[in-house]
A and B are shown apart, each in its own frame.
Chain A
Amino acid sequence: MKPSTWQLIEEINGYPLFCEIGKRPLGDKFTFVASWDRAVGYAQERKWINLTYACFNRTSSASSATRGAEWNVFAEKTKVLLKSAEEKISRVFTERNAPWSLASACALDLFLAVAEEEYSDVIRPLFFKPILLPVYAAGHFPCGWNGGTVPGSEIGGTLRSLPPGKIRVH
């Protein structure tokens, strides 16, 4: 694992996760979602799930192409190192009675930000590190996509750029 990846994991474990949810984020780069229930609804939209799948497959396919089946070993190690952040996420989602799948989707976002850093020499970080991570770092919940849809043909790892749009943030 690269030194910069270790450093990022340490930073993420220290994030004040979800401490600003419901408060308006700074700047107009985001679409603000005021209500928790609406945020949970947006987070389960097909458009958002497909976008995150496309970005996941983009990074992991690039890693598989150059480093074989290393991805799963890297994932198992990193998930253990991100335990503390994952526990914070589960606590918030349990307190608010939100679906388990959403808590694990947020934990996956953090892991994928780390993966984008680790494989940045193979493929340029596109989504999790440059866009979602600052939202988590600021204590908010990135909960959806207000914009275009990813074509089905690009979900399997060939996504070149994000469709036009903004992240929904609670």
Chain B
Amino acid sequence: MYRTFHLQHQQPAQKAMGALGITLRILKNLKPDPFCLSLIERAFPGGVMALRAVSARAGRPVGVYKAFAGKLGSGLERNHLNVAAVFKRIPHGEGLVVALQGRVSQAGSEHWSFHSSLDQWADRIIKGHGRKPTVGEYFSEGLPAALMNTELDPYAALVLADAAERQASHYGYTAEMLLDWIPSTAVRR
């Protein structure tokens, strides 16, 4: 009886502490060397400070793909917020990424849930209406829903979607542009 009570009440707290630990560890490791600094300045409006503010508000480590290399814990992968195969104007290494658990091909993992939610969203628009998703729809519907599908809370999901939108706009995307959707199953390695 005691054991059940203990588990029910300790697990969410432990989970939260674990997530906080990962965030702090990665933020601490994000020491801006000259390469990272110039890369981040180029890739995200506001540079390192703006990126750190996003990470702190979202409660998740957020970075630029190349500057994040080798700084994640085991089991975590860098996930492009602006799907790399779709947002081709953003160079792959400069894409804004968030750390998600598991591989994209690992059913049930956070990474898989993110892409599977986006694919379903795009499918509904394409197959249901023959339309193509717009950049505006991606940031107002598709991306926040996909992030919430990874069990991020709605506030964090909106913070990350907003940051991703800022980056897309920085690279010349506008809300009314149409996206050529590529299902994640097509680019899984």
A residues contacting B by CB (< 8 A) are 46, 49-50, 53, 56-57, 60-61, 64, 69, 71-72, 75-76, 78-79, 101, 104-105, 107-108, 111-112, 115, 150, 152, 155-157
Contact = CB atoms under 8 A, between A and B. Distances in A.
Given A69-B176, A156-B85, A156-B88, A78 B130 contact: yes
Contacts, number: 69
A75 B185 contact: no
A50 B132 CA distance: 16
A78 B131 CA distance: 10
A108 B177 contact: no
Given A79-B130, A108-B126, A156-B88, A53 B177 contact: no
- Determine the main DSSP class of B at the interface with A: loop
A75 B182 contact: no
Nearest to B86: A156
A156 B180 CA distance: 6
Contact of B130 (A57, A101, A112): A112
Q: Which of B128, B178, B180 has the most CB of A within 10 A?
A: B180
B16 interface: no
Q: Which of B85, B182, B183 has the most CB of A within 10 A?
A: B182
A75 B131 contact: yes
- Determine the main DSSP class of A at the interface with B: helix
B85 A101 contact: no
Interface residues of B, number: 22
A91 to B, nearest CB: 18
A64 B183 CA distance: 20
B182 A152 contact: yes
A104 B128 contact: yes
Shortest Cβ-Cβ A-B pairs, 10 listed: A75-B130, A104-B127, A111-B130, A57-B180, A72-B131, A75-B131, A157-B180, A156-B180, A155-B182, A50-B186
B183 A53 contact: yes
Contacts of B86: 156
A55 B23 CA distance: 42
B187 interface: yes
B183 A49 contact: yes
Interface string B68-107: 0000000000000000011010000000000000000000
B131 A71 contact: yes
Contacts of B176: 69
B181 interface: yes
B162 interface: no
